[in-house]
Amino acid sequence: MKKIILTVLFPLTIAACSQEATEQSMPVTASSASSAITDLTAETVPAEGFVINNAKILDGMGGIIENGSIVVQGDRIVSVNNGDSEITGALTIDAEGRTLMPGFIDAHRHIITGEDPAEWLANQAESNMQAFLEAGFTTVLSAGDAGEQVLELRRMTAENEILGPRIIAAMFTGLAAAGGPDLSLGDPARFDNARPPLRATEAMPAIPEAAVRGQVQALFDNGFDAAKNVINISPGGPEEEALGMIVEETQRLGIRTITHAVTVIDTLAAVRAGVDQLVHTPHIGLLTLEEAQQVADSNIPMTSTLGIFVPFYDENNEPIFRDALPFPWDTISSAGQGPVNARLLWEAGVVYGYGTDTTYAPSLTLKHELKSLFLVFSEQDILRIMGEYAAINVAMEDQIGTLEAGKIADIVLVDGNPEDDIFDLLNVDVVVKNGHFVVDKR
Ligand SMILES: [Zn+2]
């Protein structure tokens, strides 16, 4: 295999991490942060909050205010208004016609990179977290990372020890005693055992029931938010039944089951098992309209991750994969089947949210995922995919993903109008997380 230098994407990651915008200005006092908002009128907002006037507002639900304002108190949005806010005394920011949106959510990401997670946490976590914020991401679901380190990262960002998005952490569980991806081969999407010739042709051995269920209890005891699994059904194998047990255990414990299924048959098996989130669009095989309807009727949200099988081009115009190695042409059909299935699922009513399943710079990831989404979705669709539907994917729709009174103040101010040109989402100027300014490039 021809090796392309792994640094192709890396310098861009560094470039995205400029430190000058690392600023946590305008902290809110403890008293105002803890006081409950009982009256959502502008007059009740004390000076510790802030107002952003003169903004176009895209609320994440399809709503548009051509010239509006937002009022924030503590970590909450108090009001979203037509025209400038009447309030005086609070810090007031003139958006100068920029576009206000809910903070971005990546509902499927792998955060920690490299051979040594402890080293990553010590030396790279801060700049990586800053890169997420600068790209507009205020919430990220880790769909599988080094466990100890991702839990520590979740704590550090939650307690503002380092600035970063809020992290939701999942841990892997197994569905069979064999048949998992051979990670020594390289990127599992490149050597995918969901596809022939690597796909199992006979039943895989089962994991004893107590052990299947015990995995969930163990990850719950460690503090994870979700049980992640990969389902590739083997003929007559134990996978679907084991997934059903995992769903039962997560329901009992009040956490979630999130499932990687990339073929049509595996997706339908995950639907039958009743998982909480499908973390990929099926891209191996085309759904029938009836199958798409079956997925939609389950009300299980699905995460896009469409960009994985679309080539990148390096500086020599060589097509490369997400691992920065030459593009594996035996996977290219997924670049078409994924978006086609996505649109069929959308038409059937699936709640479809933004997620990338990547490890490289969040701004580049966003650009690449938007490219794939834009093949079959309009700007208006994509704004919803990035807003309320991404929030539903991470089960936080009552708190984030939309600009509404009472929601957490996760806000992005974009230079331009993504409703006209979706790639304006790449021009993030200001990011507010939990009511705090974490990026300000104005
Ligand atoms: Zn993944």
Residue extents of the structural domains in the chain: 20-103+401-442, 104-400
- Whole-angstrom CA distances from 361 to 71, 204, 428 are 31, 37, 15
Phi-psi region of 196 (alpha: psi -120 to 50; beta: other; left: phi over 0): beta
Please give the distance, rounded to the nearest whole angstrom, from the Cα atom of residue 287 to the centre of ligand 1.
Answer: 21
Task: Please say whether the beta carbons of 418 and 123 come within 8 A.
Answer: no
Please give the distance, rounded to the nearest whole angstrom, from the Cα atom of residue 261 to the centre of ligand 1.
Answer: 10
Please give the distance, rounded to the nearest whole angstrom, from the Cα atom of residue 356 to the centre of ligand 1.
Answer: 8
Please give the distance, rounded to the nearest whole angstrom, from the Cα atom of residue 104 to the centre of ligand 1.
Answer: 18
What tokens were used for 84?
Answer: 């400038």
Please give the distance, rounded to the nearest whole angstrom, from the Cα atom of residue 64 to the centre of ligand 1.
Answer: 33
User: Domain spanning 20-103+401-442 has what CATH number?
Assistant: 2.30.40.10
Please give the distance, rounded to the nearest whole angstrom, from the Cα atom of residue 357 to the centre of ligand 1.
Answer: 4
Residue 144 has φ and ψ, to the nearest 5°, of 130, 105
Ligand 1 (ion): residues with CB under 5 Å are 143, 357
CB atoms within 10 A of CB 343: 16
Place of tokens 């030396």: 123
Please give the distance, rounded to the nearest whole angstrom, from the Cα atom of residue 174 to the centre of ligand 1.
Answer: 15
Lowest mean pLDDT among 32-46, 168-182, 244-258, 287-301: 32-46
Angle at 61 between CA 135 and CA 274, to 5 degrees: 90
Sheet holding 166-172, edge to edge: 104-109, 137-142, 166-172, 226-230, 256-260, 277-278, 302-303, 352-353
- pTM equals 0.89
Bridge partners, 77 (sequence order): 72
pLDDT of 19 above 80: no
Please give the distance, rounded to the nearest whole angstrom, from the Cα atom of residue 33 to the centre of ligand 1.
Answer: 35
Please give the distance, rounded to the nearest whole angstrom, from the Cα atom of residue 147 to the centre of ligand 1.
Answer: 14
Average model confidence (pLDDT) across the chain: 90
Please give the distance, rounded to the nearest whole angstrom, from the Cα atom of residue 93 to the centre of ligand 1.
Answer: 38
293-301: average pLDDT: 98
Task: Quick: pLDDT tens for 188-220.
Answer: 999 999 999 999 999 999 999 999 999 999 999
The SS3 assignment for 33 reads helix
Please give the distance, rounded to the nearest whole angstrom, from the Cα atom of residue 278 to the centre of ligand 1.
Answer: 11
Please give the distance, rounded to the nearest whole angstrom, from the Cα atom of residue 236 to the centre of ligand 1.
Answer: 26
Task: Quick: pLDDT tens for 330-370.
Answer: 999 999 999 999 999 999 999 999 999 999 999 999 999 99
Task: Quick: pLDDT tens for 216-242.
Answer: 999 999 999 999 999 999 999 999 999
Please give the distance, rounded to the nearest whole angstrom, from the Cα atom of residue 420 to the centre of ligand 1.
Answer: 31
Bridge partners, 56 (sequence order): 99
Please give the distance, rounded to the nearest whole angstrom, from the Cα atom of residue 277 to the centre of ligand 1.
Answer: 13
Please give the distance, rounded to the nearest whole angstrom, from the Cα atom of residue 4 to the centre of ligand 1.
Answer: 23
Give the up-direction half-sphere exposure of residue 79: CA atoms within 13 A in the CB hemisphere: 19
For residue 258, what pLDDT is reported? 98
Please give the distance, rounded to the nearest whole angstrom, from the Cα atom of residue 68 to the centre of ligand 1.
Answer: 38
Decide if domain 104-400 falls under CATH 3.40.50.620. no
Please give the distance, rounded to the nearest whole angstrom, from the Cα atom of residue 144 to the centre of ligand 1.
Answer: 7
Residue 69 burial by CB count (10 A; 0-12/13-18/19+): exposed, middle or buried?
buried
Please give the distance, rounded to the nearest whole angstrom, from the Cα atom of residue 196 to the centre of ligand 1.
Answer: 20
Please give the distance, rounded to the nearest whole angstrom, from the Cα atom of residue 109 to the centre of ligand 1.
Answer: 6
Residue 288 burial by CB count (10 A; 0-12/13-18/19+): exposed, middle or buried?
exposed
DSSP letters for 274-306: T-SEE-S---BSPPPHHHHHHHHHTT--EE--G
Distance CA 85, CA 321 (A): 47
Task: Quick: pLDDT tens for 109-166.
Answer: 999 999 999 999 999 999 999 999 999 999 999 999 999 999 999 999 999 999 999 9
Please give the distance, rounded to the nearest whole angstrom, from the Cα atom of residue 149 to the centre of ligand 1.
Answer: 17
